[in-house]
Each structure stands twice: as C-alpha cells, then as structure tokens.
Amino acid sequence: MQYYSTNNPNHKVSLSEAVIKGLAPDNGLYFPERIPVLPKELIEKFSKMNFREIGYAVIDALFSEDLSETQIRELVDHTLTFDAPVVKVDEDVYSLELFHGPTLAFKDFGARFCSKLMSMLHGKNDKTVRVLVATSGDTGSAVANGFLRVDGVEVIILFPKGKVSLLQEKQFTTLGQNITALEVDGVFDDCQTLVKQAFLDPELNLKLLLTSANSINIARWIPQCLYYFYAFSRLPKNGKKVVFAVPSGNFGNLAAGILAQSMGLQIDRFVAATNVNKVVPDYLHGAAFQAEPSIQTVSNSMDVGNPSNFPRLLWLYGNDENLFREMVKGYFYNDEETIDAIQKVQKKGYTLDPHGAVGYLGLGDFMNEHPGYVGVFLETAHPGKFRDVVEGALGEELELPARLAKFLKGEKKVIPMGKGFGEFKGFLENLD
C-alpha cells in the first residue's frame, strides 16, 4: 500500500519511506491511500479473540502488502505485551485503561510498534536514523524506552523546560546510551516547530537521516487503532450506541479512533475533550481552525495549541467538515473542573489522572445531552505519573507502581537549547 501527503494526494510513497521520513517533504502528513474495511463477521469474532489475535487481524488488513505474516506477528507481539482493560466507573460509563505499559501512558503502544517497524524497515548498513521527537511529556518517555538500545537508531528528545512533570522528565532524561534530551527554553509548540524545521531543512537532510516518532509518523499513529477494536469487543453494550471520549492534545489518538471507525468498527460518535487549549472544540462548534499559543495546564500532555493531526481528522471524514462536526463533539475544561472531577470520581472508588479526567468530563456532558449511549473514556496515563496534581486534588499519597518509582532514582542529563532554529541546527550538524 502507498501513503500520500495530506498536502498533495499525488505525492505517494511506500510504507518504508513514509515510516523512515515521518513527515512528507511538503510538510503534509502521510495517509494510507486506501482504508481497508474489515468484514462485519470478523469484527463480531473479536469478542472471542485475545488482544494479540485482534492485533494480527487489524494490522494484516493494513500492512499485508508490505510485511510478511511473520513480521506482522512479531510486530504485534512486541507491541502488545500488556493489557488495556475496560473498567466500569459508573452506569454505562467505562474507563479504557491504556497505562499498563512500561512508561504508564498510552504512547507505549505507538512507540513500541514504531521502534520495531523502523528497525524492520531499516537495513543493517544504512545510515544511522536520527529520531527527533518533541514531547509534552509522555511521548518522550514512551519513545525513549521503546527505542532504548535499538541498533542504528539515535533518539533526540526536545521538551519544554519546566513544563513536564518530574516523573515524566525522569523517564527520558536519565537513560543515556542512544537517548539524548534537549531542554528547550520555550513551550511544547516551540519544540514541535524546531523538529518540523529540521525535517524541512535541505542541508540537514542531505547530511543526516532524520525521522519523527511523534504521532505525525504513521508507525506511531496507526497501531493506536488496535485498542479501540479491543475495547469495543469487550464493552457490555446492552444494545446501546457506543461513544468514545478521547482526551486530546495533538489529536493522534482521536485520529486512530476514527481510523478504527473507518475500518468498520461501529463507533457511533466521538467526543474530542481538551483542556483550555481548545482550538479543535472551537472548530467543532463552527469556528475556523486557528492555531493558538499553548497554555500550561494540569493536564500538561495535552497543552498543544497547534495540533498536528488536524489534517488527518479531516481526511478521515473525506474533508467533509459538516460530517466531521456531526460525528465528533467538542468539549473543553479548565483546571478547576479537572481537579473537581478527580475528587468526585475518587468517591466512586476510581482514581483518574488529569487527562482521563478531561475525557471523563467530556463523556459525561455528551451523555447528558445524548441519552441512549454507553460510553468509554480513554484513561491515557496512570495517575501516579501526575502525582503532584492528583495527590494535591485528593489530599492523600498515591502508591506508585514499582516501574515508575525506579525512574526517580536516575540522574537527569540534558543539553539546554534556545528556541531559535540556528542553535538546534548547529547541534544536529555536529552530530556526525
């Protein structure tokens, strides 16, 4: 299968080129030329299949022209080493827990798939691949841990100074080896802009093989559709319609849900829930799409003012804005509302993290306005990852999973970086 650029559907490349390049040379996002629709009978069988078996079927539909069956199995087995349970929180309200991976956020799914696929597609004698990632927190840790010690790949992580949680920071600044962290004096969008500038710089691209492991890369984005299929197959529906609420920042996760829907999964509606970085909810309510500077919030992994995956959302609905606005409902919440949700849901016996809390709120508002649904919100990170915020909200200490506590012991090593492109370019030029 080929992949085209959302800026120019005539620019088509192979899977390998789309994955290794990350971003199209015209700054567009790669998009599959054809979205396979799974037979209804197959999707019905998913309820009797395990997560990996569902993974083989879905990935086979997307990648069978480009990868062997053995490669597909290897890829899925490497990715799905942990579960994504659907947990009941309230009547007809379920949490899809995506934080059971090594770095305790949903980004482990995409990062593990991406690192494995890149190493499959990258020949032994090829140039070193330099993976550039901008992170608002969780991408950095998932990508660093997914790519740690992968041969032929070096990872350079750009993160906004003082704007990611201590635990997040520890997960990607303490590893060393093939992982380098750049502490950028700016916000997330500055990091993302630096990375995009590097991809579009002709001199750098002659010298270095640069790629991305942000959700702009199809190898990060596409595998995220797997847990929608899995969750749907496990969800008690009682004949009701299904809505998924996705706490969103760069909108890769929502785009993956819509991909699952396009592949035939009977998701009736989506909720796009954000913090006050609300350009997409504003758009969904009728405004033009207008990027804004990002604002810092307690759900910091969603502090994105210029969401990269917006063009993909539109392409998935055939660039039909009315259809997009009909299928996806936008809601946004401030920090006070987020904290309040964490406190209220704790009383029901469930601990939310600040991002899941935003999803929970969006789902609740949607379900109040639209009766007759069973709803799932994506719990995108373990509450312990945002310990300060959650402990502050609850007034009690959280127990940290051992694999999270372990990171706290490492020593932080970073290279400070300004937000001007010249300095970053100089750093990259001196790599070889």
Ligand X SMILES: *Cc1c(COP(=O)(O)O)cnc(C)c1O
Binding footprint of ligand X on the chain (CB under 6 A)? 105, 107, 138, 215, 247-253, 301-302, 355, 380-381
Helical packing angle, 188-200 and 421-429, nearest 10°? 50
Q: What's the min distance (Å) between Cβ of 374 and ligand X?
A: 22
How far is it, in rounded angstroms, from Cα 250 to Cα 230?
23
Comparison of 22 and 249: residue with beta carbon closer to ligand X: 249
Nearest alpha carbon to residue 121 among 219, 196, 36: 219
Q: What's the min distance (Å) between Cβ of 425 and ligand X?
A: 26
Q: What's the min distance (Å) between Cβ of 257 and ligand X?
A: 10
Exposed e or buried b per residue across 133-156, where buried means at least 16 C-beta atoms within 10 angstroms of its C-beta: bbbbbbbbbbbbbbbbebebbbbb
| CA-derived radius of gyration, the chain | 20
Comparison of 194 and 208: residue with beta carbon closer to ligand X: 194
Q: What's the min distance (Å) between Cβ of 217 and ligand X?
A: 12
Q: What's the min distance (Å) between Cβ of 418 and ligand X?
A: 25
Q: What's the min distance (Å) between Cβ of 371 and ligand X?
A: 27
Nearest alpha carbon to residue 130 among 413, 424, 414: 424
In order, the DSSP letters of 174-229 are S--TTEEEEEESS-HHHHHHHHHHHHH-HHHHHH-EEEE-STTSHHHHGGGGHHHH
Residues making up the chain, counted from first to last: 432
Comparison of 92 and 138: residue with beta carbon closer to ligand X: 138
Comparison of 112 and 122: residue with beta carbon closer to ligand X: 112
Beta-sheet pairing, 153-160 with 129-134:
parallel
Comparison of 247 and 330: residue with beta carbon closer to ligand X: 247
Comparison of 122 and 312: residue with beta carbon closer to ligand X: 312
Backbone conformation region of residue 171, classed left if phi is above 0, alpha if psi is from -120 to 50, else beta: alpha
Exposed e or buried b per residue across 247-263, where buried means at least 16 C-beta atoms within 10 angstroms of its C-beta: bbbbbbbbbbbbbbbbb
Q: What's the min distance (Å) between Cβ of 103 and ligand X?
A: 9
CA-CA-CA-CA torsion for 157, 159, 165, 167, nearest 10 degrees? 20
Q: What's the min distance (Å) between Cβ of 275 and ligand X?
A: 10
Nearest alpha carbon to residue 25 among 198, 200, 217: 200
Place of tokens 């569902």: 54
Comparison of 115 and 250: residue with beta carbon closer to ligand X: 250
Comparison of 261 and 380: residue with beta carbon closer to ligand X: 380
Exposed e or buried b per residue across 72-95, where buried means at least 16 C-beta atoms within 10 angstroms of its C-beta: bbebbebbbeeebebeebeebbbb
Q: What's the min distance (Å) between Cβ of 146 and ligand X?
A: 14
How far is it, in rounded angstroms, from Cα 22 to Cα 16?
10
Comparison of 58 and 104: residue with beta carbon closer to ligand X: 104
Q: What's the min distance (Å) between Cβ of 99 and ligand X?
A: 8
Comparison of 67 and 132: residue with beta carbon closer to ligand X: 132
Which strand (E) or helix (H) includes residue 339?
Answer: helix 335-347
Place of tokens 């500055």: 190
